[in-house]
Copies of this chain bind each other. A is one copy, B any other.
Amino acid sequence: MDTPTTGGLRGKRCLITGADGFLGRALSRTARAHGAIVSGFGRRAANSPLDIPWRDGDFADEAALGRALEEQDIVFHLLGSGTPAYAMQASGSNLHNDVKLTVAMLELLQDRPNVTVVFASSGGAIYGVTAKAAVREDHETAPISTYGANKLIIEQYLAIYHRVYGLRYRTLRIANAYGPGQVSTRAQGFVAAAMRAALNGKTLEVWGDGSVVRDYVYVDDVAQAFISAALYDGEPQIFNVGSGRGRSLNEVLEDVAATVGRRCEVAYSHERPIDVPWNVLNADLIRSATGWRPATDWREGLQMTADWLRAAATR
């Protein structure tokens, strides 16, 4: 297989922005397991389970960010404020927190051509409304939420900084990650929300009639995709990260019920204009370029998520 890499991750200094988020925590663990020297940056939860050095400072503090970026080989840029629904309600501040501060980071990296930036983009919010087929990276980008638009403009700034200043970057357009460690909210983390509702006998609110189809990918597989992409040294720079398999919300509810042995009540609610009806990613490109593939079987992934939720409930 054609897999150009810059060598392994061992001894590489990696900064993770948004290290204390769902994906950030999984990536921190995985990168450490690969021998990387990992440090975190961004807001840290008071009870964070992360055992990595933390760079002090807020992402909005450019001086602190500049210090944190010093001596890094790889920046895993996972920081992003919130969800599609939240982004729509607070367009101005999200634009600032996500896009403007990312651009400030790119300006700081302008004369640091040896740093590789791996950006966590969104496979779900970038492509907009698609036909019912797994989309490839060359599919038209037409976000229908400001969350997706912000992801897209960051992708474009990366491409422009690559072209003009030689910035090394990889963009991962990630499907719906699920797995242990996910904090569900009303707006995202459907698997975790459905599982919590089933375990706790609560009613789950579902936007629309449950026919919305999404692509689910296990969190540790996503973490591995970040590492594969960081080590990959060729063209292209944009990779889908997903399972290639679509599941409706109603199918997920069935499988969650089968996993935990209990069905949750569902309250179907009106559709939202920021949800596309169908989103599945074709991830052939990252597979052929780096060998990455979604290794975790869906039902196994659900089982591990349920085990974690049950263990978390008894702690």
Contacts and interface: CB of A to CB of B under 8 A. Distances in A.
Contacts of A96: 100
Interface in A22-44: none
Contacts of A103: 91-92, 95, 146
Contacts of A140: 140
Interface size class of A (residues with CB under 8 A): 20 to 34
A203 interface: no
A70 interface: no
A223 interface: no
Tell me the interface secondary structure of chain A in the complex. Answer: helix
B107 A164 contact: no
Given A92-B100, A103-B91, A107-B91, A274 B164 contact: yes
A104 B88 contact: no
Nearest to A99: B95
Nearest to A143: B156
Contacts of A104: 92
**Complex copy number for this chain:** 2
Interface string A13-28: 0000000000000000
Contacts of A107: 91-92
Interface in A109-166: 140, 142-146, 149-150, 152-153, 156-157, 159-160, 163-164
A273 interface: yes
A273 B164 contact: yes
A285 B36 CA distance: 54
A91 B142 CA distance: 23
A157 B160 CA distance: 20
B144 A149 contact: no
A157 B164 contact: no
B145 A149 contact: no
A149 B143 contact: no
A159 B100 CA distance: 21
Contacts of A273: 163-164
B146 A157 contact: yes
Nearest to A149: B156
A157 B140 CA distance: 16
A145 B273 CA distance: 31
Given A99-B99, A153-B153, 7 more contacts: A92-B100, A92-B107, A95-B103, A99-B153, A142-B159, A145-B160, A149-B157
